[in-house]
Amino acid sequence: MTKLVTAGVILIGDELLSGRTQDTNLGMIARWLDPLGVTVGEARIVSDDADTIRETVKSFSQRFDYVFTTGGIGPTHDDITADCIAAAFGLGIDEREDALAILRPIYEGRDFNAARRRMARIPDGASLIANPVSGAPGFQTKNVFTLAGVPRIMKAMLADVEHRIEGGAKLFSRTVESQGIGEGDAAAPLAAIEAGHAGVSIGSYPYFKDGVHGANFVARSRDLAVLEKAEAALRVMVKQLGGVELK
């Protein structure tokens, strides 16, 4: 399998941009997609602005195989994601009976008011995404999956997305941990190793802890055989530079 399948992630909410809320959804989605053979190509945090959301969704939908949006599908006035998704694709939007059927039992004995009914407004033609935590469904519109912003709810909703994903080539990685080597020492050898192994990308991650310095080198590729050769070359490099390999 050599097909490259990509995803874009749109994190929606003024609270993310203000710093009041720290995002964890991006990492969760990226880790979930990795074994499915889907690579996140870009992630963007956007405000609760209708024009920005609409144009970002439209652009991402054209550029990536799959798009994930999180946030803005609750009952409050600033939960405008559903309307923006519909606008991005030129679709109508209204309350859906199948969504209402999910919500009514949840609010039985309580006021199922207009605000709560907003969560049943779904773009025309979209398919629902089950929400086993709080009930209010997400939805899929073309290649865009619209999920809740609350991390534990978003994570639970992914279970109803997995069967809709057609993955591609998995990205493998190998890590060589070293001590006594700085990034500057390894810069030229790393460039040579990367250039000599087609399809391999290498990152270096320095650290300084308890008076000890070193760097971890991470090689990534979709070709496992080439990746293993690059890993061997990294181990040789560490020895040649006088470092100590930790892993």
Residue type, position 177, single letter: E
Q: Tokens 């209708």: give the residue.
A: 50
Beta-carbon count within 10 A of 61 CB? 19
- Closest to 222 measured CA to CA, from 148, 172, 165: 172
Beta-carbon count within 10 A of 37 CB? 18
Give the alpha-carbon dihedral of 36, 38, 225, 198, to 10 degrees.
Answer: 180
pLDDT of the residue at 49: 96
- Domains (range + CATH), the chain: 5-164 (3.40.980.10), 172-245 (3.30.70.2860)
Per-residue pLDDT tens listing for the chain (247 residues)? 468 899 999 999 999 999 999 999 999 999 999 989 999 999 999 999 999 999 999 999 999 999 999 999 999 888 999 999 999 999 999 999 999 999 999 988 788 888 899 999 999 999 999 999 999 999 999 999 999 999 999 999 999 999 999 988 888 999 999 999 988 889 999 999 999 999 999 999 999 988 899 999 999 998 999 999 999 999 999 999 999 998 6
Distance CA 61, CA 138 (A): 17
Cβ-contact 34, 167 below 8 angstroms: no
Helix (H, G, I), strand (E, B) or coil at 31: helix
For the packed helices 50-63 and 81-88, what is the interaxial angle rounded to 10 degrees? 50
Angle (CA) 45-58-42 rounded to 5° is: 40
pLDDT of the residue at 2: 65
DSSP 92-104: -EEE-HHHHHHHH
Q: Tokens 């390894």: give the residue.
A: 186
Distance CA 77, CA 75 (A): 7
Cβ-contact 79, 136 below 8 angstroms: no
List phi, psi (to 5°) of 23.
-75, 135
